[in-house]
């Protein structure tokens, strides 16, 4: 007891010095910590890599998961036909080889003979057919049930009960045990990349049906066919993987990569950093305020995430007759907003590696099919900051409207500190040119409800984001076509834009990839520059420290980050 008292008493007294003592101490942790990082090593050779998972695994079912952490965990222990290499390009995984028909519509995959599930059964073509049909089956209610349609798979629309199609109609057939044939309605440049996405992974039918409701809910109810297997999963605490000796490439993995990878769920950034500095973690994500103190730490890196944050302007869905939304129908108002925002300053102030958005397509998302050049390089920066121009547009708008413009900015309060910071900055920049901006912070669930169909778009403009589902501009372009009633909250309706996107995806672009590329570049200009229908703001970044003792996980701006190839140095 005396011991406890000796610890507690001085502590209580320290706190007594005032609230600020606490914050300076807490910050002190990150400042002084860099000196002794990373400490504590065991005498034996390192065999376990422990990484921080800032968010939990929500589901290990490949048809159900929608979040990054779940996908990372699934990619550890389950494989698809393809996987992404360190450059984000698809390479064969469970597929030994594949052939594509001359018209680019029929893919035939040969599955490896030594591709097996962890219960010893072979991975068959039927496992893919079953898994894919399971995703589109309305009973599964998968959030990603539309993805086959996007991938141009024949009858991909069968997820909609009103389409008149059945899951069995999906264009995927098992020719024999080890041969899978997929039929597309139009060639797709990103189809192979999507095969590395967990929604396209196989499921062992017999096993899944045997487990029923319990499938994928615990270690015993998951089968592995990937390089690692799940050996423990404790929601809220950790999930752990060990090399899977039944994997087709097991000997290569055993020679090269970490024998055991432990993901520890830690939400709090302060204790996570202390844990890293104590040598108990090999990776840690940093919050914006931790970045400056740790910029010089060995292994510090800023990574660019695929998420692009933009302002959705409710110019055409003003069901509620909002005064602000009505003003947004004026092109000069929208242009004033776009020119008023100093994206560079805003992104830099977030201090987490975020960068200014040059358009709606993020950097490092997709490459030109012919030259490999990044979309942003080909399309250039089509957003710009110019206060004088912004003021000019604003004055023109005021003259046309006959009154000053007051808008309400809707944003999420539980989606990270950087969103709140960004919203405040947007308010500042817009008020500089004459707008009056009221901030309307809401939890994400309420934000989506207000802006979406549930409340008939009850908002003026909103700071929102979109994370790419696959490495192609289409993942963004589809959002703003007039027929998209789920994501096009502002009701953008432009014949020119629709025609360009249609031409790219269903017209001349089908047979000519450079026409498709050009169409997307033009469509983006129409959307962002000509019509200022949406205002791209920043592309999210993330700061991390990765222990020098391991090789970095592979981060992909589209697709799933890979922790499969971590080498212990």
Selected range binding other proteins among 25-33, 75-83, 334-342, 529-537, rule: CB under 8 A = 25-33
Rounded to a whole number, what is the distance in angstroms from the first to the last CA of the chain? 45
Helix (H, G, I), strand (E, B) or coil at 60: coil
168, 176, 210, 234: which one binds other proteins (CB under 8 A): 234
Strand order in the sheet with 172-176: 95-100, 106-111, 179-183, 172-176
- Beta pairing partners, 367: 374
* Residue 33 lies near other proteins (rule: CB under 8 A): yes
Shortest distance (Å) from residue 70 CB to other proteins = 9
114, 126, 179, 238: which one binds other proteins (CB under 8 A): 238
Angle at 133 (CA atoms; ends 127, 136), nearest 5 degrees: 145
Task: Convert residues 475-494 into a mask of x (bound to other proteins by CB under 8 A) and - (unbound).
Answer: ----------xxx-------
Number of residues interacting with other proteins: please give it, by CB under 8 A.
73
Rounded to whole angstroms, the Cα distance separating 159 from 192 reads 21
* Residue 319 lies near other proteins (rule: CB under 8 A): no
Task: Convert residues 83-112 into a mask of x (bound to other proteins by CB under 8 A) and - (unbound).
Answer: ------------------------------
The answer to whether the beta carbons of residues 508 and 515 sit under 8 Å apart is yes
* Residue 59 lies near other proteins (rule: CB under 8 A): yes
Helix (H, G, I), strand (E, B) or coil at 107: strand
* Residue 448 lies near other proteins (rule: CB under 8 A): yes
Shortest distance (Å) from residue 207 CB to other proteins = 16
Selected range binding other proteins among 3-11, 399-407, 490-498, 540-548, rule: CB under 8 A = 3-11
* Residue 237 lies near other proteins (rule: CB under 8 A): yes
The answer to whether the beta carbons of residues 224 and 230 sit under 8 Å apart is yes
Sign of CA dihedral 285, 289, 294, 295: positive
* Residue 277 lies near other proteins (rule: CB under 8 A): yes
Selected range binding other proteins among 167-175, 270-278, 324-332, 362-370, rule: CB under 8 A = 270-278
321 Cβ neighbours under 8 A, 6+ residues apart: none
Selected range binding other proteins among 101-109, 351-359, 464-472, 554-562, rule: CB under 8 A = 464-472
| Residue placing its CB nearer to other proteins in the complex, 42 or 486 | 486
Shortest distance (Å) from residue 435 CB to other proteins = 25
320 Cβ neighbours under 8 A, 6+ residues apart: 456, 457, 458
* Residue 160 lies near other proteins (rule: CB under 8 A): yes
The answer to whether the beta carbons of residues 309 and 539 sit under 8 Å apart is yes
Rounded to whole angstroms, the Cα distance separating 536 from 464 reads 10
43-72 per-residue burial string, b: 16 or more CB within 10 A, e: under 16: eeebeebbbbbbebbbbbbbbbbeebbbbb
Chain position carrying tokens 């141009």: 152
- What is the greatest pairwise CA distance in the chain? 82
Shortest distance (Å) from residue 218 CB to other proteins = 8
Rounded to whole angstroms, the Cα distance separating 58 from 353 reads 27
**Residues between 360 and 419 that touch other proteins (CB under 8 A):** 414
| Residue placing its CB nearer to other proteins in the complex, 405 or 477 | 477
206, 260, 264, 389: which one binds other proteins (CB under 8 A): 264
* Residue 252 lies near other proteins (rule: CB under 8 A): no
* Residue 165 lies near other proteins (rule: CB under 8 A): no
| Residue placing its CB nearer to other proteins in the complex, 27 or 302 | 27
Peptide bond into 38 cis (omega under 30): yes
* Residue 212 lies near other proteins (rule: CB under 8 A): no
Selected range binding other proteins among 57-65, 347-355, 422-430, 433-441, rule: CB under 8 A = 57-65
* Residue 213 lies near other proteins (rule: CB under 8 A): yes
Element (H, E) at 35: none
373, 404, 431, 445: which one binds other proteins (CB under 8 A): 445
Where do runs of H (alpha helix) occur along 212-316?
Answer: 250-256, 269-277, 288-294
Shortest distance (Å) from residue 201 CB to other proteins = 17
Shortest distance (Å) from residue 66 CB to other proteins = 6
**Residues between 516 and 555 that touch other proteins (CB under 8 A):** none
């Amino acid at each position: 007891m005396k011991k406890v008292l000796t610890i507690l008493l001085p502590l209580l007294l320290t706190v007594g010095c005032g609230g600020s003592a606490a914050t300076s101490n807490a910050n002190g942790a990150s400042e002084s910590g860099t000196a002794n990082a990373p400490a504590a090593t065991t005498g034996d050779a390192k065999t376990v890599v422990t990484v921080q998972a800032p968010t939990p695994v929500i589901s290990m079912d490949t048809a159900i998961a929608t979040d990054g952490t779940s996908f990372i965990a699934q990619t550890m222990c389950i494989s698809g036909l393809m996987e992404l290499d360190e450059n984000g390009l698809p390479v064969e995984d469970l597929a030994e080889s594949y052939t594509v028909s001359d018209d680019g519509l029929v893919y035939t995959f040969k599955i490896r003979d030594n591709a097996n599930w962890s219960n010893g059964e072979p991975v068959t073509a039927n496992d893919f057919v079953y898994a894919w049909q399971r995703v589109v089956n309305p009973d599964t209610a998968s959030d990603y049930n539309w993805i086959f349609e996007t991938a141009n798979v024949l009858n991909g629309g069968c997820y909609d009960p009103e389409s008149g199609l059945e899951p069995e109609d999906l264009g995927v057939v098992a020719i024999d045990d080890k041969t899978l044939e997929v039929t597309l309605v139009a060639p797709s440049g990103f189809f192979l990349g999507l095969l590395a996405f967990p929604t396209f992974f196989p499921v062992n039918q017999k096993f899944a049906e045997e487990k029923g409701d319990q499938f994928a809910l615990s270690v015993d109810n998951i089968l592995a066919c990937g390089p690692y297997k799940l050996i423990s999963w404790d929601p809220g605490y950790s999930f752990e993987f060990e090399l899977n000796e039944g994997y087709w490439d097991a000997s290569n993995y055993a020679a090269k990569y970490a024998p055991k990878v432990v993901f520890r769920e830690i939400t709090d950034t302060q204790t996570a950093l202390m844990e890293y500095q104590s040598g108990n973690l090999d990776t840690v994500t940093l919050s914006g305020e931790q970045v400056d103190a740790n910029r010089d730490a060995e292994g510090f890196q800023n990574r660019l995430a695929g998420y692009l944050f933009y302002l959705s302007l409710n110019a055409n869905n003003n069901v509620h007759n909002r005064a602000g939304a009505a003003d947004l129908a004026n092109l000069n108002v929208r242009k004033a907003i776009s020119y008023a925002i100093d994206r560079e300053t805003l992104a830099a102030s977030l201090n987490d590696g975020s960068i200014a958005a040059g358009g709606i397509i993020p950097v490092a998302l997709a490459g030109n099919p012919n030259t490999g050049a990044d979309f942003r390089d080909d399309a250039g920066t089509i957003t710009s900051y110019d206060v004088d121009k912004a003021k000019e547009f604003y004055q023109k708008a005021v003259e046309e409207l006959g009154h000053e413009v007051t808008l309400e900015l809707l944003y999420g309060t539980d989606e990270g500190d950087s969103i709140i910071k960004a919203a405040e900055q947007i308010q500042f920049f817009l008020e500089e040119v004459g707008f009056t901006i009221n901030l309307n912070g809401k939890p994400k669930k309420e934000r989506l409800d207000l802006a979406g169909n549930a409340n008939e778009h009850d908002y003026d403009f909103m700071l929102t984001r979109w994370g790419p589902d696959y490495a192609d501009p289409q993942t963004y372009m589809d959002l703003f076509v007039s027929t998209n009633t789920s994501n096009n909250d502002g009701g953008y309706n432009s014949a020119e834009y629709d025609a360009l996107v249609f031409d790219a995806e269903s017209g001349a672009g089908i047979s000519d990839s450079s026409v498709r590329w050009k169409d997307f570049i033009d469509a983006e200009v129409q959307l962002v520059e000509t019509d200022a229908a949406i205002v791209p703001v920043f592309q999210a970044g993330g700061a991390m420290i990765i222990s020098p003792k391991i090789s970095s996980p592979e981060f992909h701006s589209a697709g799933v980050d890979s922790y499969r190839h971590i080498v212990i140095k």
